[in-house]
Amino acid sequence: MRVRIYFNGRYREMIGKQEETIDVDAETVEDVIIELVFKYPSLKKDRLRMMVLREGSNLSYDDQVAQDDILIIAPPLVSGG
């Protein structure tokens, strides 16, 4: 299945791209993240904390993905206290 990924924040700097279309055997957001970490090992340390958005909604790693989905991958939000 084809999924378009947009990288935000430091992820864009880490991999040197703003966007990429990948072909992946994926059913869930987690499957897409696993594929991205395999392709870009520098993302591994954040793989369980990445924010994944689709159409403005934050997705869980269990959410389903579909052909031609557009996902935004962003670093986790940090709040100060």
- Write the burial class of residue 80 (CB in 10 Å: 0-12 exposed, 13-18 middle, 19+ buried): exposed
The reply to whether 80 falls in a domain is no
Write the pLDDT tens digit of every residue in 50-71. Answer: 999 999 999 999 999 999 999 9
What confidence score (pLDDT) does residue 27 get?
Answer: 93
What pLDDT score was predicted for residue 81? Answer: 53
Is 24 domain-assigned?
Answer: yes
**pLDDT tens-place string over residues 27-49:** 999 999 999 999 999 999 988 88
Domain count, the chain: 1
Question: Quick check: pTM over 0.85?
Answer: yes
Q: What's the CATH number where 48 sits?
A: 3.10.20.30
pLDDT value of residue 43: 93
Evaluate whether residue 81 is within a structural domain.
no
